[in-house]
A = this chain, B = another copy of it.
């Protein structure tokens, strides 16, 4: 999560945040109006006895919307979603808030979907192992066997669910059952090359993260790297986003680009694209796990 640094001597600080288990994040969006920051801060401090560890806000001036992420610490006894809900609901209703409260513990349950390109999966598994991605990696689903050795090495359950023209619906039913059984919070598409059905997408709104290549200018169609290569682009990019029913048009979470050389051949472009995809996907997953993303009106606010 990065905001609270285990091992750093904080004896000069007045706030004791040593008890990580009591840390919560409150995400809010509502119409912008006078007194919002004060009203929310007051509730947390005076009525709820919270220590505000971090408060970020953002306005969408055009739409007149207000967004806030507050990370706070409370006593164990207060760490109860039902209790918080009862206390906060009147204020939330009055200010027309959409809001979500989450606790740092237990960690979120994550499922990774992958096909035969393994660069994003290998990157996520290594980052998870080194502690960069604080979550419970529940299982990996793939329509290929290629990922099994990596899954075995990192000791993550692996489900091989091959897809063909006739069994697509059936496979999705199995996938959804797996997600439900494991109480999965977020699905990461780490170069999973199958299109998810609208029903699947609707079941996990703002909870499916995908990554794809991006170009300046954009190239549509089946072979964008070939088109970009033919046009002689000087930069290639990658975009991570939440999956919506409109393919690859969901809210953008993160983007990055890299310069390509005219000596780069098609395989070089694809390799550079892979390096970007890994970075851009892992940033999106890290921010999602830290409850740092608010999504609205097909865009995102990132509190990073």
Which residues of A approach B to under 8 Å, CB–CB? 2-5, 8-10, 12-15, 31-38, 41-42, 44-46, 51-59, 61-64, 118-119, 122, 126, 130, 132, 149, 153, 214-218, 230-235, 237, 239, 251-252, 254-257, 259, 261-268, 271, 275, 279, 297-302, 304
| Contact in complex: A232, B298 (CB < 8 Å) | yes
| Contact in complex: B300, A232 (CB < 8 Å) | yes
| Contact in complex: A8, B55 (CB < 8 Å) | no
The residue on B at minimum CB distance from A68 is B55
CB within 8 A of A237: which of B8, B45, B216? B216
In the assembled complex, the CB of A70 is this many whole angstroms from the nearest CB of chain B, namely: 8
Given contacts A218-B216, A239-B216, A271-B132, contact A38 B31 (CB under 8 A): no
CA distance A235 to B214 in the complex (A): 11
CB within 8 A of A10: which of B2, B62, B234? B62
| Contact in complex: B33, A14 (CB < 8 Å) | yes
| Contact in complex: A14, B35 (CB < 8 Å) | no
What is the total number of copies of this protein in its complex? 4
CA distance A42 to B26 in the complex (A): 20
| Contact in complex: B302, A262 (CB < 8 Å) | yes
| Contact in complex: A35, B31 (CB < 8 Å) | no
13 more A-B residue pairs beyond the given contacts A2-B264, A38-B41, A230-B298, with a C-beta to C-beta distance below 8 A: A2-B265, A2-B268, A3-B61, A4-B61, A5-B266, A15-B32, A15-B33, A37-B41, A38-B46, A41-B41, A42-B42, A214-B217, A235-B256
